[in-house]
């Protein structure tokens, strides 16, 4: 599955409890002299944060979401807990998922996201009639979310 930057940004927000790493292509690759050469060091998004830092310069911190949004085409891969989750085969190629389930959004989360986008943009969202399976999936996703919320808040 081809992964876009919005899916990766959503993944970074949802997986804050785990370490995420990514690596850029080198300047020679971006300049057209190579297709696969990578930058020397990885960038790291530590557990519990959306701020990224460099492996070799932990004193430097930057907003990982803004970076992914602005430098998407120059990023070679993302890994979660040292396991590759998506990668480009070469510079200029699309980012391909290694595990599609990580980037597929549940019906419940998609409905919430659509609602928030609609509120932000001041427009109305028309929801088509749900099938029995769709409604069941929506409620199942909500129940999973509610159980996780109760655990996090110690309710």
Domain count, the chain: 2
Same-domain pairing of 82 and 114:
no
Asked if residue 113 has pLDDT above 80, the reply is: no
Looking at residues 140-147, what average pLDDT do you find? Answer: 84
Same-domain pairing of 93 and 143:
no
Contact 22, 11 (CB under 8 A): no
Contact 78, 53 (CB under 8 A): no
Same-domain pairing of 66 and 15:
yes
Structural domain harbouring 35? 5-102
Asked if residue 126 has pLDDT above 70, the reply is: no
What pLDDT, in 10s, does the model give residues 62-105?
999 999 999 999 999 999 988 999 999 999 999 999 988 888 87
| Single residue among 102, 119, 142 that ends a domain in this structure | 102
Same-domain pairing of 98 and 118:
no
Look up residue 12 and give its two tokens: 């970074």
Asked if residue 58 has pLDDT above 80, the reply is: yes
pLDDT top residue among 135 and 92: 92
Same-domain pairing of 23 and 91:
yes
Per-residue confidence (pLDDT) for residue 53, from 0 to 100: 92
DSSP notation for 67-113: HHHHHGGGEEEEEETTEEEEEESSTTSPEEES-GGGTPPPHHHHHHH
Per-residue confidence (pLDDT) for residue 153, from 0 to 100: 85
Looking at residues 32-42, what average pLDDT do you find? Answer: 90
Asked if residue 144 has pLDDT above 60, the reply is: yes
């Amino acid at each position: 599955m081809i992964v876009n930057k919005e899916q990766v940004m959503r993944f970074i927000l949802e997986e804050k409890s785990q370490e995420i790493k990514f690596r850029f292509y080198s300047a020679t690759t971006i300049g057209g002299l190579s297709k696969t050469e990578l930058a020397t060091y990885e960038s790291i998004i530590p557990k519990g944060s959306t701020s990224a830092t460099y492996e070799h310069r932990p004193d430097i911190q930057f907003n990982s979401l803004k970076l992914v949004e602005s430098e998407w085409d120059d990023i070679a891969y993302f890994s979660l807990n040292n396991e590759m989750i998506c990668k480009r085969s070469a510079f200029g190629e699309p980012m391909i998922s290694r595990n599609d389930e990580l980037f597929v959004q549940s019906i419940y989360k998609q409905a919430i996201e659509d609602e928030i986008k609609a509120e932000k943009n001041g427009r109305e969202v028309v929801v088509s009639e749900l099938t029995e399976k769709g409604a069941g999936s929506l409620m199942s996703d909500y129940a999973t979310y509610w159980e996780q919320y109760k655990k996090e808040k110690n309710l």
